[in-house]
Amino acid sequence: MITEHKQTAFITGANKGIGKEIARQLAQRGFAVFIGARDMAKGRAAAEELCAAGYEATFIQLDVTDPVSIKNATGTFSQKADHLDVLVNNAAVLEDHGEDILKLNAEMLDRTIKANVNGPVLVIQDFLPYLRKAPNGGRIINVSSGAGSLSRMSTYAPAYSISKTALNAVTRQFAGALRNENVAVNCVDPGWVRTDMGGATASRPVEKGAETIVWLAADVPQTETGKFWHDKQEAEW
């Protein structure tokens, strides 16, 4: 059954952390939210939690490292909605544990690039037909990191940092390619957020991490595209 909500949002990796909070805030804004998650039990639980609070949330299984899973997710989505207003590429991995580039494991780099770069590219490509149908223009938001900023980069988590720099480049490429199609593409550094990835000592709550992403999804002019944001300000590449 097609949703009756005027606005729809699909968030990858939305079963926990920033992704789950983005889904919650967009649901509060009146969006029908689609929870993309690899883990079926956790994804379903996250959707049920939002439904119990009175929002429309649907779990769709999605492994961004598996092209077939991405295709299946778009097929499932097509049965629930006829357009997509907002796509948030949030799913990512951080496997670096104190390694430096001098001893970086090539297999780990491959896994990181596959999840953090190739995944978002394929997700955007497959969901693009629905983003193009958004009545007021589609919006794509890639969740990046300050670790991917070349101007500030040093030696932290090389595989992860390199993948986020590449995701910023992916953002620029799609923004350029879709500039005349009314689909805005931006990336966001949410800051150091208390999540499984960020750890318990991180300085920001998930609400703050999600804030700029939700702002880009719902509030900024459609003409804002191809930019890197942090706390609602343009960030240095």
The amino acid sitting at 234 is E
Catalytic residue among 55, 130, 156, 160: 160
Beta sheet of 8-12, edge-to-edge order: 57-61, 32-37, 8-12, 86-89, 138-143, 183-188, 228-230, 233-234
Q: Residue 21: is it exposed, middle or buried by C-beta count within 10 angstroms (0-12/13-18/19+)? A: buried
Give the phi and the psi of residue 105 in degrees, each rounded to 5. Answer: -75, 125
Whether residue 156 lies in the annotated active site: no
- Token pair recorded at residue 1: 């059954």
Looking at the annotation, which residues are catalytic?
A: 160
